[in-house]
Structure 1
């Protein structure tokens, strides 16, 4: 679940590290991501700074690919760009043979800028504009996942005016509750996504009859942070029944887009298994002669990234009350704890600090909101002003959801690759926050005393 429900004692420093083989703690270098001391990055770029590990990304991509291949599946992987849309991330995953799943015109342009061919891009999303659909057709995307009867009609008109024929898949809402936080559920009948299961056969036939459209299959995505294979099996079984029904009605069905949703372990929960996902696909869809597609996002990139911050203030409370540890990073940088009540591990960059006996503390940011909190009643090594920390597993839905709220510039970003690292986005200059703002010339400053 994304909304953290306490299950027991907080994981220790050693337990957090044991679950993350890409991280290590050394007496001399402190906390390392792959082979790079994170203190060196903090020294050079300051904090807050995002860091992502290229080697970790590649390792997870290859683990997923191996699971699909070992299951004997004809399967393509399209990375969900919304999880982390940095061009460096897209290029790393493209080099691993992955295409892209995009949900906006901006993400489509990013994927193309990263060198991903239009034919390797799937365009998803419940509210594509006419302009975005024209862009997708013009870029020759491999497939558009349509989510409503209205979108089917609109896309047919646009394709007709452009003299093009577009491959489409119908995203079906299977009415499966995958569990987890309600804000990341997408496959229930009450969610805004997809076509109602009972309407899918008729709408597939309608799409086949319209000019400019070539229905090629179905798509499904039931949510995020799914650890057990049962919800996948339930959803895929319902889609398999639709495939059979469509073929019996004389329609061609060549592909099923199985979506994403594999969960990661933020605290001590089980991580979603690529082999279990592949097994669910094999058991339910594997004998139907389909090209299968998966769209991982969080599972690939969340563990590969972290956010570096520094302690700016330790605010003591009354006797017996935990202090507030105030960091220089905030909810405008990492929104997930405020938005989803999400749990993220925190580790000091200093080995000596990490080895100290833990104490209770509240970890917060400096933004003027009560919700600007990273951890409540967390058992942590005692931290002092100037100490640097790493907030773990922030490679997905971290930097990509950042804002400049409270006039806080966007943080710097760095990429680690083995023993080397480089800046992949400099810290935003403060003047950039108002550089493009226009004040009408009729608004004059008020003179004091006038």
Structure 2
């Protein structure tokens, strides 16, 4: 079953097929059904739904939500978990996590409405983001959400004026920027002084005092989020939470009210075989920095819960031999899964067929059909010969996959499927070309143009 370890482009050998499957408990591979998610062969989903299709494991979502909860409880923390909807906003995914007792962290009106539609109560929703519009704030106030994370002095004034004019009170936490380098990709770091997020931590005491004096606002605490996909240990978390703890003590000394501390998210996952901190390590970092404050804490994970739970199921269009490289062209493309093109991200790629899982392998570049050289999923990846119609699965695509999709090259959005044990269901229909064109209009003066 294993792919040869010699057919890789990197200095370290890629994990083979068996290692990729073994590290993901919701996946299995056998001689009869090939690659399977929970109890459902991916080939069965492809036959019923077509490709490309996103496939999510409800069991994996539950298992990871429970593992994070157990880690927080084991550290003796009073903690609430608010899933970051931006990672994967499918209503079925949100419903699974809501049933596990998770709230939601949203960054737009659409995400707030999705969370409510999935059954998340307003009392469990946090609204983050640097550019909330008046319309979004009105909705947040109307839904009486748990917390608004304000990210600037200007936003505090706007929330105050709006809430007071509506006769409402907004529960607001002040997001601070601790100037901590999380050592993650430059495009997803959020806690350094040059990033757009939060207020400088040195300015926080004065701003918090100002917030406490504003009408229409109930100050509830402070918040921090230093980045996404943090895998270089928990030292950055420890530094951020230590600074946050110092800030809380300073605010208390000034007689200012605090009810809780928002620790954000960012815990990374191993896409390849890189080491990644466990939730127990994150819980330990929170306890070290904030455990003596006697305040409940909040977490806002997204990728750690949803990322490993999803795959992108695709079909081979053609296998093409170039002058120096073999190309495997898929029907999925960068408009579906943007991460490799945008972040140079590595995703495991597995053949679905039981025969292909044990066939000899050689290096291949895995690409999509979009007219961009950047439409490349992998280079020099060890794969067997794959005829047109052969199925492959791109792993760990449950977060920042479908939510970042586009219709570039006029390609309709892929279908989404949820697997739960031996059952599966389409949880988002495949977009057709009629729907893709439905919102477009030709102005009347061009209707008779040649």
Instruction: Tell me whether 1:116 sits opposite 2:120 in the alignment.
Output: yes
Superposed, 1:40-439 pairs within 5 Å as: 40-227=44-231, 228-318=233-323, 321-439=324-442
Q: Is the 1:254–1:289 contact (alpha carbons within 8 Å) kept by the matching residues of 2?
A: no
Give the structure 1 partner of residue 6 of structure 2.
Answer: none
SS in 2 for 1:302: helix
> Contact 1:48/1:411 (CA < 8 Å) preserved in 2?
yes
> What whole-Å deviation, never above 9, does each CA across 1:62-121 have from its counterpart, x for those lacking one?
001000111110000000000000010111100000000000111111111111111110
Moved more, 291-300 or 266-275: 266-275
Shift of 1:428: 0.8
Q: Report whether the alignment pairs 1:444 with 2:434.
A: no
Residue by residue over 1:256-285, the C-alpha shift from the partner in whole angstroms, topping out at 9 and shown as x without a partner, is: 100000101100111331100111111111
TM-score (norm 2): 0.97
Q: What is the DSSP-based 3-state SS (H/G/I as helix, E as strand, rest coil) of the residue aligned with 2:95?
A: helix
SS in structure 1 of the partner of residue 86 of structure 2: helix
Kindly state the Cα deviation for residue 436 of structure 1 after the two structures are TM-superposed: 1.6
The 1-side partners of 2:306 and 2:10 are apart by 25
How far does the alpha carbon of each residue in 1:278-316 deviate from its partner, in whole angstroms, 9 at most, with x for none?
111111111101110000100000100000111101111
CA distance in 1 between counterparts of 2:41 and 2:262 reads: 40
In the alignment, the residues of structure 2 paired with residue 339 and residue 15 of structure 1 have an alpha-carbon distance, to the nearest angstrom, of 26
Residue 22, structure 1, aligned to residue 57, structure 2: no
For the residue of structure 2 that corresponds to 1:393, the secondary structure is coil
Q: List gaps (5 residues or longer) in structure 2.
A: 1-8
Per-residue CA distance 1:181-218 (angstroms, 9 max, x = gap) = 10010000011101111100000001011111111100
User: C-alpha distance in 1, partners of 2:86/2:449?
Assistant: 44
Quick one: distance in 1 between partners of 2:292 and 2:13? 45
Q: Structure 1 residue 7: deviation in Å?
A: 4.8
Normalised by the length of structure 1, the TM-score is 0.97
User: The residue matched to 1:303 in structure 2 has which SS?
Assistant: helix
The alpha carbon displacement at 1:335 in A equals: 0.5
Give the Å deviation of 1:6.
4.1
Inter-partner Cα distance in structure 2 for 1:271 and 1:307: 22
Query: For residues 262 and 441 of structure 1, what CA distance do their matches in structure 2 show?
Result: 52
**Partner Cα separation in structure 2 for residue 56 and residue 373 of structure 1:** 27
Deviations 1:4-45 (A, max 9, x none): x94501111111112112111110000001111000000111
- List, as ranges, runs of 4+ consecutive aligned residues in structure 1 with deviation greater than 3 Å: none
SS in 1 for 2:434: helix
1:426 to partner: Cα distance: 1.7
Q: What is the CA-CA distance between 1:366 and the residue it aligns to?
A: 0.2
Q: Is the 8 A contact 1:67 1:278 kept in 2?
A: yes
- Alpha-carbon distance in 2 for matches of 1:18, 1:53: 16
Please give the secondary structure, in 2, of the residue aligned with 1:176. coil
Q: Could you say if the C-alpha distance between residues 234 and 150 of structure 1 is closer, same or farther in structure 2, counting changes exceeding 3 Å?
A: same
State the SS of the aligned residue for 1:161.
Answer: helix
